[in-house]
Chain A
Amino acid sequence: MAETVFSMLPDDVTLHIFLNLKDDPRHWARLACVCTKFSSLIRNFCWKINCFHTIPSIVSDLLSDSSVPAGGWASLHKLAVCCPGLLHAGVLLDSSDFGLERELGPDEGYQITSSQEIFTSRFNGSSGMGASGSNCYWSLFDDLYNDTVYNASESKDGLESQLCEEAGKGVVKVDQEFSSCKRRKICRSLRSRSHLASGIWNLSREQGNKLLSRQFRDDCLYICDWPGCLHNEEKRNYMLFRGIFKNFKRSRVYRTINDGNRKKIALSCAFCQLCLMFMEYEFGSV
């Protein structure tokens, strides 16, 4: 019999089967790679339904002027459930594996591009979140410049060298600084790669407000709940927050970053082609 079993099934039956698999996002991620029918059902329905179900307020806020969120349902869903790991979040470690080998799977059609600007929000000290919010300052990739080896000659696979090329396209040329970088020990911990996010898969504006310093309070930032994903590295502990700005290009944060002589680097977004942002909360050295 030439026809496949699923070609006989109505879409609503197939969807009903898929909805039994919603507890682990990796199931859908794999299914989206099986065939075009699955791929289209997962992209157009499953992830959408799940976004509406798990992060309804963000969906309605982001959808105010379109029917699909910027970057698509896949990106929004992935943002809610997937921590990209330190490497892909911009806290670059010298490693031969660039963190794209994933358990979760999907970028799902969103090609990584080089034009994204991702920022780290860095807070000093180990005080609590509320207190630290007021004395934070924005710095772009301090860690990149100070701690990270970023040398194409050391790359062991294509992905990494691709990103190095992309880095070269950054607004500020960083080649010389790279050469003077202190070398960081190779870190290959599993947690440096993308993985299912810990904690509740939710993003909220309240959390975003807590993280933004006062001057940026008018911006609309949704991030995951405190404490994000904890990443313990040799010298530091990191908390990775996943989040998204509404109307990022019109936000104060964006304007502040664009003004002045701030250091920038182009880095691919872990989720889509659009401006999604990671924040790094630094505990200080261990």
Chain B
Amino acid sequence: MSSSVEAITVLSSDGDEFKITVSAAKLSKPLNWMLEDVCFSDDCDEVPTIEVNSKTLVKVIEYCEKHAPRANSGASDSDAEELKKWDIEFMKMDVKDILFHILMAANYLHMEGLYDLACQTAADLMKGMTVSQIRKIFHIKNDFSSEEQEQLRRQHPGCSFD
């Protein structure tokens, strides 16, 4: 692994270049592997592509940079508390446009913290919602056949399925 670089450059799937510090990149296993690769040595100018679109990658890098100091050095309770608040604010995003891309990116980049956070956020959005509200929030099409639908109606007379 190269010891001389402090930040690396990666390409998004849209072809945009992004810089990410080495300590932040270490939060992702695949990026960590890349760091150990010759690509990041001084005599190599090949830029690796990450299969995540630019809009999502900006957010992922933002998360990494915020969490990197704590991940690398441990943190006090007050830091953890502050980070939690930051996470909540960070996750206030459009479900369809960003949240699900973050989920997939975190899964693809093996970022446990972000993955758990995104899953928990999606789960929280489902809590206490009716069937039709869940469909609306997550843009889910009702694909039950009319027979299945009828059966559900009989079983759950109080539920709204429309």
Q: Which residues of B132-162 have CB atoms within 8 Å of chain A's CB atoms?
A: 134-135, 138-144, 148, 151-152, 155-159, 161
Q: Which of B26-34, B53-61, B76-84, B123-131 interfaces with chain A? A: B123-131
Rounded to whole angstroms, the CA-CA distance of A18 and B120 in the bound complex is: 9
Residues of B within 8 A of A109 (CB): 151
B68 on interface, CB distance cutoff 8 Å: no
Q: Mark A22-41, 1 if CB is under 8 A from B, else 0.
A: 00100100110111111100
Chain B interface bracket (under 10, 10 to 19, 20 to 34, 35 or more):
35 or more
B104 on interface, CB distance cutoff 8 Å: yes
A65 on interface, CB distance cutoff 8 Å: no
Residues of B within 8 A of A20 (CB): 119-120, 122-124
A190 on interface, CB distance cutoff 8 Å: no
Interface of A is mostly: loop
A262 on interface, CB distance cutoff 8 Å: no
A17 on interface, CB distance cutoff 8 Å: yes
A8→B134 contact, CB < 8 A? no
Rounded to whole angstroms, the CA-CA distance of A155 and B113 in the bound complex is: 55
| Interchain CB contact (< 8 A) of B138 among A5, A27, A106 | A5
| Interchain CB contact (< 8 A) of B107 among A6, A13, A39 | A13
Which 5 interchain pairs have the tightest Cβ spacing? A20-B123, A5-B100, A107-B155, A33-B131, A101-B158
Contact surface of B with A, Cβ cutoff 8 Å: 95-96, 100, 103-104, 107, 115, 119-120, 122-124, 126-127, 129-131, 134-135, 138-144, 148, 151-152, 155-159, 161
Q: Show 6 residue pairs from A and B whose CB-CB distance is below 8 angstroms, ordered by the A residue.
A: A4-B138, A4-B140, A5-B138, A17-B126, A21-B123, A21-B127
Contact surface of A with B, Cβ cutoff 8 Å: 1, 4-6, 8-10, 13, 16-18, 20-21, 24, 27, 30-31, 33-39, 100-102, 105-109, 111, 159
